[in-house]
A and B are shown apart, each in its own frame.
Chain A
Amino acid sequence: MSGEFAVWVYLSRTPLLWLTVTLLAYLVADRIAAATGRNPVANPVLIAIMITAAILSVTGTPYADYFQGAQFVHFLLGPATVMLALPLYEHRATVMRALVPMLAALGVGCVVALVSAIGLARLLDIPRPVITALSPKSITSGVARGVSETLGGDPTLTAVIVMLTGVTGAILVTPLMNALRIRDMRARGFAAGLAAHGVGTARAFQVSEVAGTFAGIAMGLNALLTAILVPVVLRLVP
C-alpha cells in the first residue's frame, strides 16, 4: 500500500477530515457571499453545499462516511434553535404588538404553501410517493422527515427537498419582497421563516435582527401547523 493511500484511508475514517472540509467549504462560501455584498443569489448555504457535494462526488465518498464527521456541525442546529429565544426575548414588545398579523399570516401562508405544492405536483403527474415526500417542504427538516415517514414518504428524499426549498426561499425572498414593495421587516422575515424554515431564517438574520426574530417564530409555528394539516390536504387531493 502506498504511503498516500494509507494516509487517505486513515483520514477518511476519522471525523476530523469531513468536519474540516465542511468548515472550510463554509468559509469559502461565506467569503464569496460577502464579496457580492450579500447578494441573495450568492447564498452561502447553497455555495457551501455545492462545494461539499462536489468534493464527495470526486472522492467517491459515501454520504454516511461524510456525515460521521459533519454530524458535529449538524448537531449545533438544536442549540442554535434554542438560542432563537434570545432575539425573541430582546424584541418581545415588537413581537407582542404583531400577534394578530402573525397568526393571520401563519394560517394563510401555511395553507398556500401546502395546497400550491401538492396541487401543482398533482397537475404535473409527479408520482404519489414523491408528492407525499415533498408536501412538508416548507418546515424544518426534523419535523418534515417525521411527517413524511408517518404518511409513507421517503424521509431522506424529504430532507433533500426541504433543503432545496430552504435555499430557493432564501434566494427568492429579497427580490420578491422588493418587487411587491413590502418594506416591513417583520412581514419579510415572517414570510422567509414560514416558506423556507431555518435557511430562510439564516437569510433573514443577514438582513436584519427583527426580520430574523420574526423568521424564527414563523419557523416554529409553521412546523406545528403544517404537521397537522399535511395529512388533511393529502386526503383532499385524490
Chain B
Amino acid sequence: MIASLALVLLAQLLGEVFARGSGLPLPGPVLGMVLMLGFLTLRDRGPAAVPRGLPRPLTDGTLEQTGKGLLANLSLMFVPAGAGIVGRLDVLQAQGAKLAFVLVLSTLAALAATALTFVAVSRSLDRRRGEREEAA
C-alpha cells in the first residue's frame, strides 16, 4: 500500500512539475495520469528486468486494488470544494434563477451534443468498416 501511494504521489509530483514548467493549461494530476499509464505499459510490456526490480506491491495487484478503492469513493473528494458554496450564497441569490437556467440548459446541450456526436461518428465508422469487409 505504501509503495503504491508513493508511486501515485511521485507521478502527481512529476506531473505538477511538468505542468508548471511547460505552462500548459493542464492540471498536474492529469499529466500524472499519463505518466502512470507510461509506467503500467513499461511494467507489462518493457524488458523483463523492469518488473523484477520493482517492489512487490507494484506488481502483485496491490496497486490496482489501492486505485480501485480510491476511485470507488471519488464522490467523497468533491464534498470539501462543494461546501464552498456557503461563502458565495450572495452572488447565487442575486443571480440564482438565471444561473440555474443557464447551467441546466447548457449542461443538457453539452451532454446531448457530445453523446450524439460520439454515437453518430462511431456508427458511420462501423458501417464503412463493414462495407470494406464486404467488398474484400
Contacts and interface: CB of A to CB of B under 8 A. Distances in A.
Contact of A224 (B8, B26, B32, B110): B26
Contacts of B110: 109, 112-113, 116, 138, 169, 191, 194-195
A143 B29 CA distance: 11
B136 interface: no
Interface residues of B, number: 72
Contact of B25 (A22, A71, A120, A147): A147
B41 A168 contact: no
A79 B9 contact: yes
Given A83-B71, A126-B98, A186-B118, A137 B106 contact: yes
Given A100-B121, A224-B26, A195 B74 contact: no
A25, A82, A100, A173 pick with most chain B CB within 10 angstroms: A82
Contacts of B83: 22, 49, 52-53, 56, 63, 66, 70
B66 to A, nearest CB: 8
Interface string A118-143: 00110010110010001001101111
Contacts of B99: 126, 130, 134, 161, 164
B51 interface: no
Nearest to B36: A85
Contact of B70 (A80, A121, A194): A80
Contact of A184 (B12, B84, B119): B119
Contacts of B29: 77-79, 81-82, 142
Contacts of A141: 81
B116 A182 contact: yes
